[in-house]
Amino acid sequence: MRVAKFSIAGEARFGLVDGPELVVFKGHPLFFNYETTGERVPLKDVQLLPPTLPTSKIVCIGKNYADHAAEMGGDAPKEPLIFLKPSTSLIGHGETIVRPAISERVDFEGELAIVIGAIAKDVSEADALDYVWGYTIANDVTARDIQDKDGQWTRAKGFDTFCPLGPWIETEFELDGQTLETRVDGDLRQHASIDLLIHKVPRIIQHVSQAMTLLPGDVILTGTPAGIGPMESGEVVEISIEGIGSLSNPVE
């Protein structure tokens, strides 16, 4: 099942992706048991929004692919390395990534994202997947020069528009070595199997839930593979994961 959040006539709604159409849910599908109104709207007529609640936490895991840790000039962390992005950084599929005037280098980072479906606190690895609603795609946009200057990551990764998310949540996605690819204006920049995650999804959920309670709609970005690089104004960044789809955003 693919669950999308979208805007139509100035109202945010949730819908089930059914080919070229959306079947509209009565409310948030997690809380209204996936009940629909029967209304159908064409995908082409709506603006897709980040497929999560506006108050959700965005938890991120750093240096979770060995090749990316190496390209950043350090060792991979022995435990999942947690940082946060603010909810104000969220944008949806097709919306524009805005490069801040105070940064000279803004990078893409294609990532698999977990969407939490139930309250999770101190969960075990064995039970962790029971708390997953589904998966989506994220771009952990980073002002690299500011990250280097600050020595920590909050400001560099927290600008408005720095967390494209979407295009929808795939609730039936099963982790099985799917390929993640990032393209800039059609040129392949990242290509990796999600099996190469150092800390796997159950371990990530266990580790994060030891520190903070995870709520329905919270998002966890799982890390990016090697191949990160700058985005320039006028380019389009597209991140694809087999079995989910593609997240595409222009840059200005």
pLDDT per position as a tens digit, 110-129? 999 999 999 999 999 999 99
Q: Cα–Cα distance between 176 and 174 in angstroms, integer?
A: 6
Mean pLDDT, to the nearest integer, of 34-50?
A: 96
Which of 9, 24, 49 terminates a domain? The answer is: 49
93, β-bridge pairs: none
64, β-bridge pairs: none
The reply to whether 79 and 177 lie within a common domain is: yes
Whether 54 shows a pLDDT value over 80: the answer reads no
Residue 209: closest CA among 218, 172, 136:
218
The reply to whether 15 and 130 lie within a common domain is: no
Whether 55 shows a pLDDT value over 90: the answer reads no
Residue 155 CB-density burial (10 A; 0-12 exposed, 13-18 middle, 19+ buried): middle
Q: Cα–Cα distance between 102 and 112 in angstroms, integer?
A: 28
Q: How many CB atoms neighbour CB 168 within 10 A?
A: 28
Return the CATH number at 129. 3.90.850.10
Q: In one letter, which amino acid is 243?
A: G
Residue 27 near residue 12, CB atoms below 8 Å: no
The reply to whether 78 and 169 lie within a common domain is: yes
The reply to whether 82 and 137 lie within a common domain is: yes
Whether 221 shows a pLDDT value over 90: the answer reads yes
DSSP β-ladder status, 110-116 and 219-221: antiparallel
pTM: 0.95
Which of 49, 70, 87 terminates a domain? The answer is: 49
The reply to whether 136 and 235 lie within a common domain is: yes
Residue 179 CB-density burial (10 A; 0-12 exposed, 13-18 middle, 19+ buried): middle
The reply to whether 121 and 231 lie within a common domain is: yes
Domain containing 154: what range? 50-250
Say what percent of the chain tops pLDDT 70.
100
Q: What confidence tens digit (pLDDT) does each residue in 154-201 have?
A: 999 999 999 999 999 999 999 999 999 999 999 999 999 999 999 999
Look at the chain and report how many structural domains it folds into.
2
Mean pLDDT, to the nearest integer, of 198-225?
A: 97
User: What pLDDT, on a 0 to 100 scale, did the predictor assign at position 45?
Assistant: 94
Residue 74 binned pLDDT confidence (cut-offs 50, 70, 90):
confident
DSSP β-ladder status, 58-62 and 219-221: parallel
Q: How many CB atoms neighbour CB 66 within 10 A?
A: 15
The reply to whether 32 and 136 lie within a common domain is: no
The reply to whether 95 and 181 lie within a common domain is: yes
User: What pLDDT, on a 0 to 100 scale, did the predictor assign at position 173?
Assistant: 97
The reply to whether 118 and 206 lie within a common domain is: yes
Whether 147 shows a pLDDT value over 80: the answer reads yes
Residue 68 near residue 22, CB atoms below 8 Å: no
